[in-house]
Amino acid sequence: MNKSWIYVVLTSLCELLWIYGFNVASTGWHWAIIIALIVIDFYFLAKACENLPTGTVYAIFAAAGTVGTALMDIFLFDAPISGSKIFFIIVIVIGVISLQLADNREEAAKKKANVAKAQSVIK
């Protein structure tokens, strides 16, 4: 696995932790931990963007936060679950996967074009 994808996972996890912290923080040191998590979160986000397409990284980051927060509300904070919530969570996940597949196709097409260009120069 590419190290940048590990950063994507870490930034997504940090985001969920500080969002959870917003719901439970009650003292100054809780808020200090949340601020530290936000700083670490954006560090991992920046590291992930160094070697991966920024749009893909941000889409995954935002989707993980959105889906994770919705699931956290349901399972940890007893928010009601509905068919529409489930439907839109699935739409978000399909959108992120589709974006990644589209990026992979574009990358493969660029590599193929570069190979063809190099072969024409050699001839």
3-state secondary structure of 50: helix
Bigger pLDDT: 107 vs 33: 33
Burial of 43 per CB tally in 10 Å (0-12, 13-18, 19+): middle
Q: What is the pLDDT of residue 114?
A: 78
Domains identified in the chain, total number: 1
Whether the CB-CB separation of 21 and 36 falls below 8 Å is answered with no
pLDDT (average), residues 90-114: 82
CA distance 64 to 18: 13
Examine the pLDDT at 1 and tell me if it is beyond 70. no
**Could you tell me the pTM of the whole model?**
0.75
Q: How many CA atoms lie within 13 Å of 59's alpha carbon, on the beta-carbon side? A: 18
Domain boundaries, position 107: 3-122
